[in-house]
Structure 1
């Protein structure tokens, strides 16, 4: 999978209210015009619910 830039992730999730479901993250990223690679990465996260942006970052960057 393509590398995700932490700043791009922040911008993609700008305005997100937490806790949030994975599908909500994907919709917010699309609304914020995130690139397809980032939207794809979010849509393939194993977790279904996130308590905050730090939890999303951990899930995205885990295992790099």
Structure 2
């Protein structure tokens, strides 16, 4: 599985407003050209809403 860098995550979530719903972040990441691995991690997150970028990072990087 490809590794996701913090910079890739930051680019994928550019323009996000928090708190944000998971589905909104998935759509934003796709629109911002995020790779499939990152989109999949967001899509499979057990959290429905994120209070800020740190919450997203915890989900995306938890298994790395």
TM-score for the superposition, normalised by structure 2: 0.89
Q: CA-to-partner distance for each residue in 1:6-52, whole Å, 9 max, x for gaps?
A: 11000000000100010011000011011111111110111110000
Give me the CA root mean square deviation: 1.2
8 A Cα contact 2:38 2:60, kept in partner: no
Equivalence for 1:58: 58
Structure 2 unaligned spans of 5+:
none
2:30 matched to 1:16? no
Structure 1 unaligned spans of 5+:
none
Instruction: Find the residue that maps to 1:18 and give its secondary structure.
Output: coil
- Partners of 2:33 and 2:8 lie apart in 1 by 10
